[in-house]
Chains A and B, each alone.
Chain A
């Protein structure tokens, strides 16, 4: 059984769920709109540029979660999913996932976005394994602090190898699909790297190294 690894944002869905969650919070009046939007946009730009301070970003993204109980967060997420994520789900992504499922591959989403945002999306995509950045939880509430290795850049590779060891899987024969140059370390680690609607930096690296480039849009 081989691994089929997928980045989530801008790969399996046509947008960045983390950034969209920030916009959703603004729209719902749950955060101070101007200041939050400015910071949210700046972090997103840093991510695109490859200069993101992931821990600082995770603290920023996790802070609003501290204000709600888990059931309240679920209800908010349901509304977020319907208004922001459902419209950017990609039929071609569903076909790709299905193709790997039929081949008997073990499907895994591996994403820098926190687990609260991504777990229901992974569920909707029918993918049981999710490696995501995590927030600390104490007494059934988020504290706002990141915990563990953030699932970003080299962190993705580290988290994957930890998981492979726990699950007694193998990296041999694995595919990884991603849109972002931030994922080059993991793309280099797998057997079959695939660039999906890649950003400029990844596109040029993919061309140099002869990695396949596909579109799910």
Chain B
């Protein structure tokens, strides 16, 4: 105890000495270099948090709206299954999928700080679980009677669908964008319209298969499953927006250093992912390749929302590299030499990554 008191006294004396030294300095002496913390702040910490949360609010709200538009289009398609209404549902799926890519940055938080952002991780699994196992949902490849569509023992209500989602394996995907994608586009984008024709009366063949009610037929179960999936997507998108807003209060209780470290980690994690995806997407070709370019571009743009939190001396360069990479990818499919675009994008992102490592 005595030893402890002596240490405190010595520390206080040291602080006093430093204080005296500071007082004794001449007024015209060169001011000390700003600490790193001081360098970072050109907007206040409150503003930094506000900007980040505004960004999150905006992207989650937009996604809510695009999910609602998808649900409306799916309802219209189920009311009247035609090539046009199916086309519109697919277009709305593409829009919702593009809108989801804007959540890229905020999704990184749940990876680097799962205790605080756990709700966002759950939202990610509900909204965009991937990869999916198509046979868990419907017929696929050499499995003509596979999945929930054909499994009459599972009632297609919210409770059971949520229970089935990820039941025994992460690939047991029932909900979210990618499950809906398979229901709308089918295998290799070739889902026939006839899959969604409502069965109003049981045929002799249906009766021979053992169906006693039209609700048991695969077409009607498929219709119901798709509608439920779209409804739950909207519900989960709303929940994600609310969760994001709710986390803000806890976030503000963290020290500024912890907040900054968390944003840096999320930024670095996101950057690593886009870098790896750029490397892998640049190897493929075709429509998936073009979609990858657009998705990556949006993901990169979402990272820009974290730039306020980077040290000021890096911001400008970091932002420039990210913008260059995003712009190049937006135009990638129109470029004469696409490979060069991908290579340049990779270089920009790699440079951004190297800068980040120095933080």
Q: Which residues on A are within 8 Å of B, measured CB to CB?
A: 28-30, 69-72, 74-75, 77-79, 119-120, 123-124, 140
Contact = CB atoms under 8 A, between A and B. Distances in A.
A119 B168 CA distance: 24
Given A28-B168, A28-B169, A69-B151, A74 B133 contact: no
Interface stretch (B40-48, B138-146, B231-239, B310-318): B138-146
Contacts of A123: 142
Interface in B132-169: 133-136, 140-143, 145-153, 168-169
Nearest to A140: B210
A71 B168 CA distance: 15
Contacts of B133: 75, 78-79
B142 A71 contact: no
B151 A78 contact: no
Contacts of A30: 168
In the A-B complex, list the 3 residue pairs whose CB atoms are closest, starting with the nearest. Answer: A74-B146, A78-B135, A71-B151
Given A77-B135, A77-B143, A119-B142, 19 more contacts: A69-B151, A69-B153, A70-B150, A70-B151, A71-B147, A71-B148, A71-B149, A74-B145, A74-B146, A74-B147, A75-B172, A78-B133, A78-B135, A78-B136, A78-B140, A78-B141, A78-B143, A78-B146, A79-B171
B169 A79 contact: yes
Interface SS majority for chain B: loop
Chain B interface bracket (under 10, 10 to 19, 20 to 34, 35 or more): 20 to 34
B173 to A, nearest CB: 11
11 contacts: A28-B168, A69-B153, A70-B145, A71-B150, A72-B151, A74-B143, A74-B150, A75-B143, A75-B147, A78-B134, A78-B136
A77 B143 CA distance: 9
Contacts of B171: 79
Given A79-B133, A79-B171, A140-B210, A71 B145 contact: yes
A139 B134 CA distance: 25
A135 to B, nearest CB: 16
Interface in B34-70: none
Contacts of A72: 151
A123 B171 CA distance: 23
B135 A74 contact: yes
Nearest to A139: B210
Contacts of A29: 168
Nearest to B137: A75
Question: Which residue, A30, A75, A119, A123, has most C-beta atoms of chain B within 10 A?
Answer: A75
Given A75-B136, A78-B133, A124 B142 contact: yes
A123 B168 CA distance: 26
A72 B171 CA distance: 13
Nearest to B210: A140
